[in-house]
């Protein structure tokens, strides 16, 4: 893109055959320097892709581009823009495993309690990746460990069925999830059931040491 085109409002917002603006194209292919130029020239930072609904902020957060994220926020990027799957930029930062970026977005007002189309809040995505530091940070910033997703599962259910021993231990000892050690999901299964079903013996030991029950396990 020529310097003249970059300053032409019509060109800045012109969409290609797939419905993407120049800023979205640059973000998708990780041309971060070009993204900065386009933003500073007035490109619409909240333009969303037609298929998945991603904005430039989603791409920048997913790739840990903290400087670009700050620039986008300074140009009034929507912190709560959601993809077709219900994902916010904060969710992308969690999947990127960048604690500094997570804190930056929350400090700017990102909703730490936002849920996606499955009913899972942000903390579930830290649990999905098994990142204890992210889980600890999200709890410190106000995320609840006693929320439930669309299937009625708690964070302890998620950590147990994925075999995340350290996270289970931390949730039970320090995170406030002790009361959920025998909580049933919509399928009447407790965390220990999922740990046992998936062969996570160390998680089973941790749960049992905190009073975990085998309720729901077929006899």
> pLDDT tens digit string along 106-129?
999 999 999 999 999 999 999 999
Domains 1-106 and 112-219 fall in the same CATH topology:
yes
* Nearest Cα to Cα of residue 125 among 159, 99, 91: 91
Give the pLDDT mean for 7-16: 77
Give the pLDDT mean for 62-78: 98
Banded pLDDT at 1 (limits 50, 70, 90): low
For the structural domain made of 112-219, what CATH number should be given?
1.25.40.20
Backbone angles phi, psi at 135, to 5 degrees: -60, -45
Q: What is the pLDDT of residue 80?
A: 97
- Report the b/e string of 44-66 with b at 16+ CB within 10 A: bbebbbeeeebbbbbbbbbbebb
Q: What span, in angstroms and rounded, lies between the C-alpha atoms of 48 and 66?
A: 20
Map out the domains of the chain as residue ranges. Answer: 1-106, 112-219
Banded pLDDT at 218 (limits 50, 70, 90): very low
pLDDT surpassing 60 at residue 78: yes
pLDDT surpassing 60 at residue 190: yes
Q: What percent of the chain has pLDDT over 90?
A: 83
For the structural domain made of 1-106, what CATH number should be given?
1.25.40.20
């Amino acid at each position: 893109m020529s310097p003249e085109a970059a300053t032409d409002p019509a060109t800045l917002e012109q969409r290609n055959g797939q419905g993407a603006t120049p800023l979205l194209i640059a973000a998708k292919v990780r041309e971060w320097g070009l993204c900065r130029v386009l933003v500073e020239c007035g490109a619409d930072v909240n333009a969303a892709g037609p298929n998945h609904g991603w904005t430039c902020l989603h791409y920048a957060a997913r790739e840990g581009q903290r400087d670009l994220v700050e620039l986008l926020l300074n140009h009034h990027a929507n912190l709560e823009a959601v993809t077709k799957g219900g994902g916010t930029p904060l969710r992308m930062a969690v999947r990127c495993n960048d604690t500094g970026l997570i804190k930056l977005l929350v400090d700017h007002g990102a909703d730490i309690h936002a849920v996606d189309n499955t009913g899972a809040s942000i903390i579930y995505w830290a649990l999905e990746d098994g990142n204890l530091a992210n889980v600890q940070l999200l709890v410190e910033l106000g995320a609840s460990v006693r929320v439930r997703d669309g299937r009625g599962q708690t964070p302890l259910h998620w950590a147990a069925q994925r075999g995340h021993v350290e996270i289970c231990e931390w949730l039970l000892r320090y995170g406030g999830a002790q009361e959920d050690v025998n909580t049933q999901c919509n399928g009447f299964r407790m965390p220990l059931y999922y740990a046992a079903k998936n062969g996570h013996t160390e998680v089973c030991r941790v749960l049992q040491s905190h009073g975990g029950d085998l309720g729901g396990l077929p006899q």
